[in-house]
Amino acid sequence: MKRKIIVTGGAGFIGSHLVDKLIAGGNEVTVIDNLSSGKMEFIEHHDQDPNFKLVKLDMLELEKLKQAIKGADMVYHLAANPDVRLGAENTKVHLEQNIMVTYNLLESMRMNKQQNIVFTSTSTVYGEASIIPTPENYGPLIPISLYGASKLACEALITSYCHTFEMRSWIFRFANIVGERGTHGIIIDFINKLKTNPKALEILGDGQQRKSYIHVSDCIEGILFAVNNSDEMANIFNIGSTDTINSTQIGELIVKEMGLHDVKFTYTGGNRGWKGDVPKMLLSIDKLQKLGWNPSHNSKSSVIAATRSTLEKQ
Ligand code: NAD
């Protein structure tokens, strides 16, 4: 069935892959993006498609946002500032770009009587979880980054709007998503550092931070599968791979993929990369698996695929 769909943040890394998939499925897609970190080159291949439209808009502008989303059956809300590290330097950015933007979207939907929202949340809402793999019903949720706090606040706003105004939501808590068009994160950092100096790689922390990585193609499949197969008022799912890889191992894989030898690894020390970094993260994806979805990549193959596509584009 052809649907009218809004993708906020659709010019970004994950959003643009979602747009590709939704357009390929014959849907009518409007991207709302202020191009702060999103890029035209990620979406311009749809320019001539009558099912595609870009509205360049800062979602802090409530009235314009309300007009822009009118008539859509479904809103995929990905627009955010996703930089976890930034919160330690700038305490306002996640409040504005994540919480206020989400509030504006919910208000616009409420006023337009639009009901269906998909939200991209994060593993960082769990903080330093004592149960690993961490299931969706883990608690209490004690984020340790301002980014994690902002995403948890967004989740709470969304579920309470759903209850109060008869809306429905799908909330996805992602592990680390990697792949083509990635613009930030450990893979990009390591590749850039090694291009500058192919003899040495500085790794943040002690290199033992161990996390789950999942390829963006799996992430998109998982989202669409869950949206099509669940219909509670608030459907909350983790999306990740079923294993982990540590920072040193990622460094070794990237060195190999770049064809480098005798690279000296140095460590900045401590058990985390930065203030707010969660050193160990693995999400339980039992809930999605029981529904019938499985990722096709593990952490290692996700990192390798992402490294190759990044190197090809450079
Ligand atoms: P991204 O920075 O590539 O995409 C975010 C998009 O939102 C960009 O296109 C940006 O221009 C747009 N945007 C930001 N503020 C806006 C505003 N005020 N108005 C309109 N547009 C705005 O990031 P991404 O990695 O693709 O992340 C997408 C979503 O997934 C985010 O919500 C992020 O928090 C979440 N997420 C990402 C990861 C990951 O590993 N990449 C992990 C967990 C959650």
Q: For ligand 1, what atom is nearest to the CA of residue 174?
A: 43
Which run of H or E residues covers position 301? helix 299-313
Which run of H or E residues covers position 9? none
E strand map for 57-152? 74-77, 116-122
User: How far apart, in whole angstroms, are the C-alpha atoms of residue 226 and residue 222?
Assistant: 6
CA–centroid distance, residue 37 to ligand 1 (Å): 8
CA–centroid distance, residue 261 to ligand 1 (Å): 35
Specify the residue with its C-alpha closest to ligand 1, atom 34: 82
168-179, pLDDT tens digit by residue? 999 999 999 999
In the DSSP assignment, the letter for residue 142 is B
CA–centroid distance, residue 216 to ligand 1 (Å): 13
Same fold? 4-177+213-239, 180-212+243-278+297-313? no
Q: For ligand 1, what atom is nearest to the CA of residue 35?
A: 11
Q: Which residues pair with 55 in a beta bridge?
A: 32
Query: Residue 1 — pLDDT band, cuts 50, 70, 90?
Result: confident
Ligand 1 neighbours, Cβ below 6 Å, are 9, 11-15, 32-38, 58-60, 78-80, 82, 97, 101, 120, 122, 174, 176-177, 183
97, 77 contact by CB (below 8 A): no
Residue range 180-212+243-278+297-313, CATH number:
3.90.25.10
| pLDDT score recorded for residue 165 | 98
Specify the residue with its C-alpha closest to ligand 1, atom 44: 122
Q: For ligand 1, what atom is nearest to the CA of residue 177?
A: 40
The answer on pLDDT for 121 being more than 90 is yes
Q: From residue 199, how far is each of 103, 252, 255, 314 by CA, in Å?
A: 47, 13, 10, 19
Specify the residue with its C-alpha closest to ligand 1, atom 28: 78
The answer on pLDDT for 9 being more than 90 is yes
From 17, 36, 42, the mutation candidate for ligand 1 (largest count of ligand atoms within 8 A of CB) is 36
Local structure of 266: helix, strand or coil? strand
Local structure of 299: helix, strand or coil? helix
CA–centroid distance, residue 12 to ligand 1 (Å): 6
Q: Regarding predicted confidence, which is higher, 275 or 72?
A: 72
Structure tokens that stand for 120 in this block: 């991209």
Q: From residue 254, how far is each of 24, 25, 120 by CA, in Å?
A: 32, 34, 28
From 6, 14, 278, the mutation candidate for ligand 1 (largest count of ligand atoms within 8 A of CB) is 14
User: How far apart, in whole angstroms, are the C-alpha atoms of residue 73 and residue 232?
Assistant: 17
Q: Kindly list the domain boundaries of the chain, sorted by start residue.
A: 4-177+213-239, 180-212+243-278+297-313
| pLDDT score recorded for residue 134 | 98
Residue range 4-177+213-239, CATH number:
3.40.50.720
Radius of gyration of the chain (CA): 19
pTM of the model: 0.98
Q: From residue 77, how far is each of 32, 42, 103, 147 by CA, in Å?
A: 9, 17, 11, 16
Specify the residue with its C-alpha closest to ligand 1, atom 35: 120
Quote the percentage of the chain above a pLDDT of 70: 100
Question: Mean pLDDT over residues 227-234, rounded?
Answer: 98
CA–centroid distance, residue 247 to ligand 1 (Å): 23
CA–centroid distance, residue 38 to ligand 1 (Å): 8
From 39, 77, 78, the mutation candidate for ligand 1 (largest count of ligand atoms within 8 A of CB) is 78
| pLDDT score recorded for residue 314 | 79
CA–centroid distance, residue 144 to ligand 1 (Å): 20
CA–centroid distance, residue 10 to ligand 1 (Å): 8
19-49, pLDDT tens digit by residue? 999 999 999 999 999 999 999 999 999 999 9
Give the chain's mean pLDDT. 97
